Amino acid sequence: MLSVLQGEVLFVANVGDSRAVLATTCDDGNLVPVQLTVDFKPNLPQETERILQCNGRVFCLDDESGVHRLWLPDESSPGLAMSRAFGDYCVKDFGLISVPDVTQRHITSKDQFVVLATDGVCLAFWIVPKYTTLIIFLNYAHIRTKVGILSKVISICK
């Protein structure tokens, strides 16, 4: 994932299942989360279509209900849980692409900060209602001290 602020426009380029969440201030003064990216999972209709056209397969394992994966045509691996990524060359001919989705947003004075993270870093916060928990925590940590924020985030994510 890559985020670039050019003037008052924020650009976010994303592959895989990393997320960008913007913390913005609502009319009552509270911070609210705005998800800026989409998780590129194999079961998204446009992703599934591309994978199938490339002879890849998309399905869930019996013991992982709801976790759709990209599979090679005739093998039980690699079972990649995303449809876009860098690397993973063994499935690139079967529908995996590294083309990022690029979004843009005009930034206003209400927008405070952006969190860029992979689900593996802080999975507990990637459930939509918990975005609010994350941005409140980060705002509190910033107000309290500008030093040690990363270590606090990491300790909470563990």
Query: Phi then psi for 153, rounded to 5 degrees?
Result: -60, -45
Residues 105 and 153 in one domain: yes
Residues 15 and 57 in one domain: no
Tell me the C-alpha distance between 38 and 47, whole Å. 12
The total of structural domains in the chain comes to: 2
pTM, rounded to two decimals: 0.74
For the chain, which ranges sit under pLDDT 70? 78, 119-158
57: containing domain:
45-94
- Alpha carbon of residue 65 to chain centroid: 20
pLDDT digits (tens, 9 = 90+) for 19-45: 888 888 889 988 888 889 988 999 999
pLDDT at 124: 52
Residues 151 and 106 in one domain: yes
Residues 79 and 127 in one domain: no
Residues 65 and 140 in one domain: no
Say if residues 42 and 70 touch (Cβ distance below 8 Å): yes
Residues 32 and 56 in one domain: no
